[in-house]
Structure 1
């Protein structure tokens, strides 16, 4: 039962603002945590249903500030993988064990950050090569699947995008475009699975201002934060979300 009382807003409001800041300024990596927070006061499936329209609203609000600043090739690769990943998530949602994927994605995310730090400190020899096309498609497929089952598509996409030299803005813009498409693709299967109700719609209307405020703050923070600090924060968020995924999967 969804009750729009003070406790709901005390928990859901900051969670939705956080999702807006993460998606609007720092690559979506930690935005999935908002659904986990909502699950403290809602049944998990209902929490996913409440979050998706809000994530779509954040996508729409942040698309214009980053319009055409994305990397076309990487965006296409991630989307080409992401759409089948969403379809697979829809087919397996009722039978898949999401905890296995949470642990796997969390381990990859944390391991990637450790590898990047080792490279930066000269502990390992950096291998200079262009990632193959299939790596982007695979990352997109994993992102699409995990996004469908838990809104946790950010870390797989971040691992692929951060492995390539790029500016903070084309990285951010690419994630905005990719998850705008993926979240639209998730909407119809979510509806068929019964995740949207009159109550979730009322919650969406009540939480929409929080989503828009978070998106605005995220875009502002993106342009204010220096590039070096931006990527440092992104790695921190990726580490935290990766650890959180592992913890959720194991517990």
Structure 2
């Protein structure tokens, strides 16, 4: 049960604003930190269910500023690949327990940080040529799966999109369109699995203004804020929350 107390709002409000800024301005790459943060005080399924409607609100708020600036061929590949990934995530959810979900969310959080460190250190080089269409389908499948189990579809999608040499705005718009579609696809199995409750719905209603505020800030930050500063904060959050979730899962 989601208890709407001071501790909940102290963590949930900044987490939701952070998700809005990430999805609104920086390609959704670290928006899943919000679910990782909430999973510190909620059951993982509750954290995921609570965040999904808020992420969908952010999607709607950010579609218009980037309307028709996306690369439709790339978005189509990621969406088509993402649908079976969502189905695989739904199957895993029915076959696992809360501790394994905590372990997955924590591992994905730390994996994202390690992937970034490897890139910035030169251990992983950027792609010299564009990845082929089949790679987009695979990236979409991984994005759909990780998005279902942790709202962390951004990194696998980014691996493919970065190889396509898109502009910053094309990259952002394509990401917004892709996860707008995949989040709609996730809503159906989330509801079927009984992940939504009256408590999560009430919490969504109270947190919706903060989701919109984050989206508004993100769109403006896309043109103004230093990406380096934003992602440094994100990596610290992901490292701390990921480590705590893995510890909780194992102990």
Return the alpha-carbon distance in structure 2 between the equivalents of residues 53 and 177 of structure 1: 16
- Runs of 5+ in structure 2 lacking a partner? none
| Number of residue-to-residue matches in the alignment | 243
For the aligned residue pairs, the C-alpha RMSD in angstroms reads 2.7
C-alpha distance in 2 between matches for 1:125 and 1:179: 26
- Aligned partner of 1:118 in structure 2 is 122
Per the normalisation by structure 1, the TM-score is 0.85
Pair 1:214 & 2:218 matched: no
Deviation, 1:102, is 5.8
Does 2:88 correspond to 1:78?
Answer: no
Pairing 1:46-195 to 2, within 5 Å after superposition: 46-95=46-95, 97-98=100-101, 99=103, 103=107, 106-107=110-111, 110-111=114-115, 114-115=118-119, 117-118=121-122, 128-195=128-195
Q: Which residue of 2 aligns with 1:40?
A: 40
TM-score (norm 2): 0.85
Matched, 1:4 2:4: yes
**Deviation of 1:167 (Å):** 1.4
CA distance in 2, matches of 1:39, 1:172: 27
Q: Which runs of 5+ in 1 are unaligned?
A: none
Q: How far apart, in 2, do the equivalents of 1:101 and 1:216 lie?
A: 27
> Which residue of 1 is the match for residue 17 of structure 2?
17
1:102/1:199 CA distance change after superposition, 3 Å: closer
